[in-house]
Structure 1
Amino acid sequence: MGLFGKKKAPLPRREVVWGHCYDDDLLDAAEAELLEGKLNAAVTVLVDSRDNAESRSLRLSRLGHRLVGSADEIAELAARHRDPELMLLAGDAYIGEAWAIRGGGWASSVGEDRAKMFLTTLEKARGPLMTAAEMLPDDATPWAQMLTMGMGLGLDRSEQDAIWAETVKRAPTLYPAHWTRLQVVAEKWYGSHAEMSDFALYTVQNAPEGDPVTAILVVAYFEVLIQAKVRRGSNPLAMGREMFKKVNSQLTIASNRWMFEERPHPRKFEAHNYFAAALSLAGNADLAFVHLFGMNDMLSSRPWDIYADDPEEEYQRMVQKYWPRELTR
């Protein structure tokens, strides 16, 4: 309420950018050319990021997604030219095709025929990814992709652990690899809530200052919320508020470890989305604003869609609640 009980005037709605939580002009250009059927730029931007696993992994995930449905063709081209970037693109495209076949539901909801097709398609990713790893032995990217492949194939835990070890040996804080590893050690796959929590806390404690990989702690708590939502069928918004208020001190430590000396990072907008949602639910006004501001209006569906029917409206609501009236940006 304002002076004499008058309500504060609402802030203007933010103009949201959907599904583009990164700032990479070269990737945008390569993606545009790929949509026109031109592969050269996609290969070039992957080559240019060989010394930056974070950018390379992000670029691969975006470009490989555009090649879903063409994986066999890319794999043949990769074999013909013995090109490691094409091998990566083929592997990622196979992974995308496999998960498109499987769908996003629980394993119990996937029919037998679809499950077999999923596994057959996913297995096709192994050859190109292993070849890419052999051709560029210092590259963490094919190993990070094999984490996703192995999880879907149901490789035993020792195999998963071995792939993880190879990944972090090459890129100790690789954000997407930590995200996948969190899924592996979660209860719904190979581990438990306790193991997932331990992994997330260990990640925060050992993260270099300025690295958004600390957001993995927030991802872990949202995984707990997903499980609770499925099992209890109760209000995820109320559960989220209760849970995140209890762990506000942990969220603060994780946020501060990143933001104290924030460095340029291709996943920063994605990480800001997670922190903004969690700290808003926790009622931590100061840090909620820091991360809402840090999002730069780049909105991802996760984690907002875990507890809100309309992620954009939830984001706008949090802006109204936590954005200072004197700041117009």
Structure 2
Amino acid sequence: MALLRDRGITLGRWTGRPGARLERDSGDPDVARMREAAVAADWTTVRGLLEARPEHQDRTQLLWAVGNTAGVERWIVEVLQKEPESAHALTVAGIRHVSWGWDARTSARAENVSRKQFEVFHSRLRQAEGWLYEAAELEPGWTSPWYVLQITGRGLEIGQVTARRRFEAAVRRDPHHLGAHVQQLQQVCKKWGGSHEEMHAFARESVSRAPGGTPLARLVPDAHIEEWLSLDPGPGAEYMRTREVADSLGQAAEHSYRHPDFERAGPGLELLNSFAMAFSLAGDRASARECFQATEGRVTESPWSYINGSDPVAAYRKHRSAAGR
């Protein structure tokens, strides 16, 4: 397949296969700085990094960098006591309590989670919701609080109607917010009370409404991977190799990374990894090679952790070799 010089990706002549490495932050140095500041309880730096990143640029990764850092739940409460009307502090407190809540619940199946774990989980999510609603009132134009409220809502099982309203609140403020769309895709998937049909329809419609080069096209391979995960190995392999899957992946590729306006930086890297895995499972080696080449050996945890949770890089390497790269 020809290199994609005029189709969104320009790589030059192939000179060999690069080594594979896990790219935690999609190449965004501010995410690493945010994580360091969170560990150091450096609120001034945390706030400064958030203030420097406009809402329309999607602050999702920055928020999770601080939200996933253990210990933030202690010092952010002290910040709130000093700055009770800081929407930044309220949002950080909210997202940290979401992550902290899931720490208590764990990733185990519901039947393997104790009543006490669920009580702690729900308590932390309810606390998060209170802070997030306060942040939304203080900054009515922000998307971030509504994005996090989508996650608390799923954990608290608020139902599809209310969940949809939270998604709509987020996209009224930012119509193509990737994080909000990723959360809504999860909300409408079968395991959370939706269906495969609703999930695929949501992915298709979201991509069709977005401009060319959109990172939202990642929803299409993600939806196929989600259905593949729900099936036993044999039926899953058969599903991924259907003409319907091949056609939808191809159409989404044309509207995203094959488009001249596509940007590989940031969310584009995770999109390329999602397409690489989906095309690999679909048996389309040429398209998989195209995506592997474009990633330049930079591996994102999602979606490869679905294949090998302890070593997503190993999963990436295995499928890259199978694709002939």
Where on the TM-score scale, by shorter chain, does this alignment land: which range?
0.7 to 0.9
Could you tell me which residue of structure 2 aligns to residue 287 of structure 1?
287
Looking at structure 1, the residues matched to 101 and 89 of structure 2 have their Cα atoms a distance apart, in angstroms, of 18
Q: Is the 8 A contact 2:97 2:124 kept in 1?
A: yes
Structure 1 residue corresponding to 2:251, chosen from 250, 253, 257: 253
Looking at structure 2, the residues matched to 64 and 308 of structure 1 have their Cα atoms a distance apart, in angstroms, of 24
Measured after TM superposition, the shift of residue 40 of structure 1 is 1.8
What's the secondary structure of 1:23's corresponding residue? Answer: coil
Looking at structure 1, the residues matched to 251 and 298 of structure 2 have their Cα atoms a distance apart, in angstroms, of 24
Compare 263-272 and 178-187 and name the one that shifted more: 263-272
Q: Is the 8 A contact 1:245 1:282 kept in 2?
A: yes
Could you tell me which residue of structure 2 aligns to residue 92 of structure 1?
95
- Residue type of the partner of 1:263? F
Compare 201-210 and 143-152 and name the one that shifted more: 201-210
Looking at structure 2, the residues matched to 315 and 266 of structure 1 have their Cα atoms a distance apart, in angstroms, of 19
Alpha carbons of structure 1 residues 62 and 87: separation in structure 2 relative to 1, 3 Å: same
Superposed counterparts of 1:139-218, under 5 Å = 139-218=142-221
Structure 2 residue corresponding to 1:24, chosen from 25, 28, 36: 28
- Offset from partner CA, 1:207-244 (integer Å, 9 cap, x none): 2111111111111111112221xxx4xx3xx5554322
- Offset from partner CA, 1:154-174 (integer Å, 9 cap, x none): 113222121111001011121
Looking at structure 2, the residues matched to 152 and 77 of structure 1 have their Cα atoms a distance apart, in angstroms, of 26
Looking at structure 2, the residues matched to 273 and 239 of structure 1 have their Cα atoms a distance apart, in angstroms, of 23
Measured after TM superposition, the shift of residue 100 of structure 1 is 0.6
Could you tell me which residue of structure 1 aligns to residue 45 of structure 2?
41
Q: Is the 8 A contact 2:178 2:216 kept in 1?
A: yes
Measured after TM superposition, the shift of residue 14 of structure 1 is 4.1
Q: Is the 8 A contact 1:101 1:118 kept in 2?
A: yes
Q: Is the 8 A contact 1:95 1:149 kept in 2?
A: yes
Looking at structure 2, the residues matched to 257 and 13 of structure 1 have their Cα atoms a distance apart, in angstroms, of 27
Could you tell me which residue of structure 2 aligns to residue 77 of structure 1?
79
What's the secondary structure of 1:188's corresponding residue? Answer: helix
Could you tell me which residue of structure 1 aligns to residue 319 of structure 2?
318
How big is the alpha-carbon RMSD for the aligned residues of Structure 1 and Structure 2?
Answer: 2.2
Measured after TM superposition, the shift of residue 118 of structure 1 is 0.6
Could you tell me which residue of structure 2 aligns to residue 299 of structure 1?
299
What's the secondary structure of 2:296's corresponding residue? Answer: coil
Looking at structure 1, the residues matched to 105 and 276 of structure 2 have their Cα atoms a distance apart, in angstroms, of 31
Could you tell me which residue of structure 1 aligns to residue 140 of structure 2?
137
Could you tell me which residue of structure 2 aligns to residue 110 of structure 1?
113
Q: Is the 8 A contact 1:69 1:97 kept in 2?
A: no
Structure 2 residue corresponding to 1:242, chosen from 238, 255, 266: 238
Q: Is the 8 A contact 1:21 1:269 kept in 2?
A: no
Q: Percent identity?
A: 24
- Residue type of the partner of 2:139? L
Looking at structure 1, the residues matched to 236 and 20 of structure 2 have their Cα atoms a distance apart, in angstroms, of 24
- Offset from partner CA, 1:51-82 (integer Å, 9 cap, x none): 4342x11211112212x443253134134212
Could you tell me which residue of structure 1 aligns to residue 6 of structure 2?
none
Looking at structure 2, the residues matched to 104 and 12 of structure 1 have their Cα atoms a distance apart, in angstroms, of 39
Looking at structure 1, the residues matched to 188 and 215 of structure 2 have their Cα atoms a distance apart, in angstroms, of 20
Measured after TM superposition, the shift of residue 12 of structure 1 is 7.5
Q: Is the 8 A contact 2:25 2:61 kept in 1?
A: no
Compare 29-38 and 149-158 and name the one that shifted more: 29-38
Structure 1: unaligned runs, 5 residues or longer: 1-10, 325-329
Aligned length: 305
Looking at structure 2, the residues matched to 92 and 73 of structure 1 have their Cα atoms a distance apart, in angstroms, of 14
- Per chain length, whose mean CA-contact separation is higher, i.e. which structure has more relative contact order (CA < 8 Å, sep 6+)? 2
Compare 184-193 and 33-42 and name the one that shifted more: 33-42
Looking at structure 1, the residues matched to 127 and 55 of structure 2 have their Cα atoms a distance apart, in angstroms, of 27
Q: Is the 8 A contact 1:64 1:89 kept in 2?
A: yes
What's the secondary structure of 1:143's corresponding residue? Answer: helix
- Offset from partner CA, 1:87-124 (integer Å, 9 cap, x none): 11111100000001111122222111111111011111
TM normalised by structure 2 equals: 0.86
What's the secondary structure of 2:274's corresponding residue? Answer: helix
Looking at structure 1, the residues matched to 154 and 23 of structure 2 have their Cα atoms a distance apart, in angstroms, of 25
